[in-house]
Amino acid sequence: MEITRALSIRQPWCWLIMQGLKDIEIRSWTTPFRGFFAIHASKIFDEEAFSYLNEILSIPEMEEYPMGVIVGYAYLFDVKEFKDKDAFVLFKDRHLNNPDWWEPSKVGFVLQEITSLPPFVSKGKLGLYSLKNPLHIET
């Protein structure tokens, strides 16, 4: 299988996905894309999320997260619209975001087949971007 796209995800969100604790990635934009994509751990750390998550989960310390690397891949199965805060809260156990962070523009990328890879350095970009060097995965 060839993976030609990637999505940069800030830590600790990326770590939660790779640990199987989060299978809905919250975004403020949607995409028609469905398929496999590489998961890139951004070089930017989400400190607000870390503070919130550290209160509700047992997660590693800030300096323990891989950053600036591709850590795995997943299948983007669907994009879930959260038309109101109640819908956002209903899926809280799957996206792990603070319910107070809901906004009308929030959507959830529903992920399946999340698979780890040995981390390797790669540049990230905004959006669901094309990889300069596609990943070739043995199936």
Cα–Cα distance measured from residue 85 to residue 91, given in angstroms and rounded to the nearest whole number? 10
Write the pLDDT tens digit of every residue in 27-40.
Answer: 999 999 999 999 99
> Residue 139's pLDDT is what?
76
Residues 6+ apart with CB under 8 A from 7: 25, 37, 38, 39, 40, 109, 127, 128, 129
Looking at residue 35, its pLDDT comes to 98
The pLDDT, as a whole number, for residue 28 is: 95
> What pLDDT is recorded for position 93?
97
Q: Is the dihedral of CA 37, 42, 47, 53 positive or negative?
A: positive
Model pLDDT, residue 80: 97
Average pLDDT score over residue span 32-54: 97
**Confidence at residue 66, expressed as pLDDT on a 0 to 100 scale:** 97
Percent with pLDDT over 90 in the chain:
99
pLDDT for the residue 78: 98
Q: How far apart are CA 117 and CA 99, in angstroms?
A: 31
Q: Tell me, what's the pLDDT at 130?
A: 96
pLDDT tens digit sequence for 58-111: 999 999 999 999 999 999 999 999 999 999 999 999 999 999 999 999 999 999
pLDDT tens digit sequence for 1-22:
999 999 999 999 999 999 999 9
CA distance 92 to 56: 12
Domains in the chain (CATH in brackets) are: 2-125 (2.30.130.30)
